[in-house]
Amino acid sequence: MRCLSLMLLLVFSWGVGATTLERMSGESIDAFLVRTAPRNRQPVQKPVVTDALGFSAPVLLVAYAATSNDSPDPSPGVQLFLFVPKQSDSYERVLIDTYEPEGADASIESIFFSSIDKTSDKKLFVIVSWEQNHAIVKGTLYQTFIYSLTPKSADAKPQYLQALSDKLSGGCDCWRADEPASKARYKNAAQVRAGLLKIK
């Protein structure tokens, strides 16, 4: 469907590894995420707070977008970061993925965890959409991205599960000038979870 840039575990310092960020005393999570945002980026939605990975404290999943179209950032896409608690007031931040524009800027519809087999390991699911407003195609394109993350470890690279992701990607919920309109099968977490049960 498109060439996805899988820039795994690159950090804001533009080096390899993870960036450790300190949260100031009394600082709210929202203020912390804005203050420590990657250069020329800002959070585009409320963080997802979850204990699904089994750390001693909840992890954060945060999406950032460029602050303007004139940003010198080499990638205009939406970036999804994982914040792993290291101590009481510090996090290690790693980049999960970058969702590039596809006719329009990417919009993250849903982030959730779910198991895909009989094991207790949960995979990360990210549903992304792009508005389509072309002469012959109008509507919304949906794609599901599924990642395997090592529980209790930010050191192992997230693995993009492409085959499973393709099976649970929604497609285009679109009007088309040259063929019948199409309906996306998977547009939200409930629909993806239901689809997952059918292929387990």
Is residue 142 classed exposed, middle or buried when 0-12, 13-18 and 19+ CB atoms within 10 A define those classes? buried
Pairing of β 123-133 and β 107-114:
antiparallel
Which parts of the chain have pLDDT scores under 70?
A: 1-17, 68-75, 151-157
Helix (H) or strand (E) holding 164: helix 162-167
Tokens 């914040």 found at: 83
pTM of the model: 0.83
Task: Note the pLDDT of residue 151.
Answer: 63
Task: Note the pLDDT of residue 149.
Answer: 85
Task: Note the pLDDT of residue 74.
Answer: 56
Task: Note the pLDDT of residue 16.
Answer: 39
Query: Structure tokens of 37?
Result: 């945002």
pLDDT 10s digits, 55-100: 878 899 999 998 865 555 556 799 999 998 887 789 999 899 999 9
Pairing of β 19-22 and β 90-99:
antiparallel
Task: Note the pLDDT of residue 119.
Answer: 73
Which residues does 70 contact at the CB level (< 8 Å), separation at least 6?
Answer: none
Q: Which neighbouring-strand residues pair with 22?
A: 90
DSSP secondary structure letter of residue 165: H
Backbone phi, psi, residue 195, to 5°: -65, -35
